[in-house]
Structure 1
């Protein structure tokens, strides 16, 4: 489980987690929406970087395959709650994002506790993550006085709506995968 902890991808994931307080500080203490939006966007994009490095340089680890998605969920929840409190993003969008993340998180934890065999994140799971991790910072930027605020609003919504739709279709698609993973986990335990 803990082999491969000291790897570049896991270090990037850890930095992403440790940088979240800086995002909160910029957003709430310094009233720097544009800077906070940029930082949140960079934090979202590093999710792709650490995954690419892990696969490209054969640094995929059991720890990283749990740690990275957990940090993704934390990033989603902290980001969504923060922009909802800030008022830059409508409450309904944040609640829809949070509801999906909590439901899938509970589904995965329940599956893991019940011995589910792990499965890879679907390509649509990666797509919705990209869309929403790009849309939310853009919508935050749209609430600033930055010169690109109007463009950020348009592009943010162009990404948010399909991202939200894809997030829910992906969530429902995980149900049969979890069911299958539970069956495989039970079968593997019987063979031991």
Structure 2
């Protein structure tokens, strides 16, 4: 799950205003926390990163198994491995002290890629309705625009809300159950459980996106309302 690959740094203001008004009451309020990946170690060869890459490599394999030979059993195994590695990479990063910039990028990217590709594949197989995919993929599009807005104002990405982490956890564990329940037979009994987890996870996923956008709007408004930063030495009385 995203952002578990390392501690997040709280950045109170955009880089253009960090030096202005240091120590003033207005500048002591940190506002919404953001994740500064640049403060994480710049390393590549770590066990958590290897697990994230493994999870990414499983995406095309999952699509092939589901849409090609329709080997649903093996596709479920790939999804389950993805769910386990999603938990393990963040846990190992904390326990082993192997947080990294790359890990902070790979982990959420793998989560989003799995969710979007799984939903698209499920629509093609008539496992889930099209409206569900439209809602969740639309959420990703909106967050992508929000990230661009943050970057334009000089902010790194915000910290991932715990609701977003919970939603990702639920969806990654609901998808294998959906696939099992859709096949009928001995596994038909898991379908109601799978749908309950899917609806719950989807609702939290959308809610986390709404909270993210609200935080972005708050930062942008505060940025626009802040007084401009004076140039160095501006207003200083010249020496006689």
User: Smaller-chain TM-score range?
Assistant: 0.7 to 0.9
Alignment-derived partner of residue 18 in structure 1: 57
Aligned equivalent of 2:193: 155
Name the SS of the counterpart of 1:130 in structure 2.
helix
TM-score by length of structure 1 reads 0.85
The residue that corresponds to 2:32 in the other structure is none
The corresponding residue for 1:50 is 89
Cα separation, partners in 2 of 1:135 and 1:68, compared to 1, 3 Å: same
CA RMSD of aligned residues (A): 2.6
Structure 1 residue runs of 4 or more that deviate by more than 6 Å after TM superposition: none
Q: Which runs of 5+ in 1 are unaligned?
A: none
Larger Rg: 2
CA contact (8 A) 1:13 1:68 kept: yes
Deviates more, 1:103-112 or 1:23-32: 103-112
Which has the larger share of helix?
1
What TM-score comes out, normalization by structure 2 length? Answer: 0.70
Deviation at 1:113, TM superposition (A): 4.5
The superposition leaves residues 7-54 of structure 1 with CA deviations (integer Å, 9 ceiling, x where unpaired) of 111111111111211111211221112321231232133211111111
1:70-89 alignment, distance < 5 Å:
70-89=109-128
Residue of structure 2 equivalent to 1:104:
143
- State the shift of 1:68 in Å: 1.4
Indicate yes or no: 2:211 matched with 1:177.
no
CA distance in 2, matches of 1:16, 1:46: 7
**CA separation in 2, counterparts of 1:179 and 1:65?**
23
The equivalent position to 1:117 in structure 2, one of 156, 179, 198, is 156
Unaligned runs of 5+ residues in structure 2 are 1-37, 233-240
Counterpart in the other structure of 2:47: 8
CA distance in 2, matches of 1:173, 1:19: 30
**Would you say 1:27 and 2:66 are equivalent positions?**
yes
How many residue pairs get matched? Answer: 189
Measured after TM superposition, the shift of residue 178 of structure 1 is: 2.4
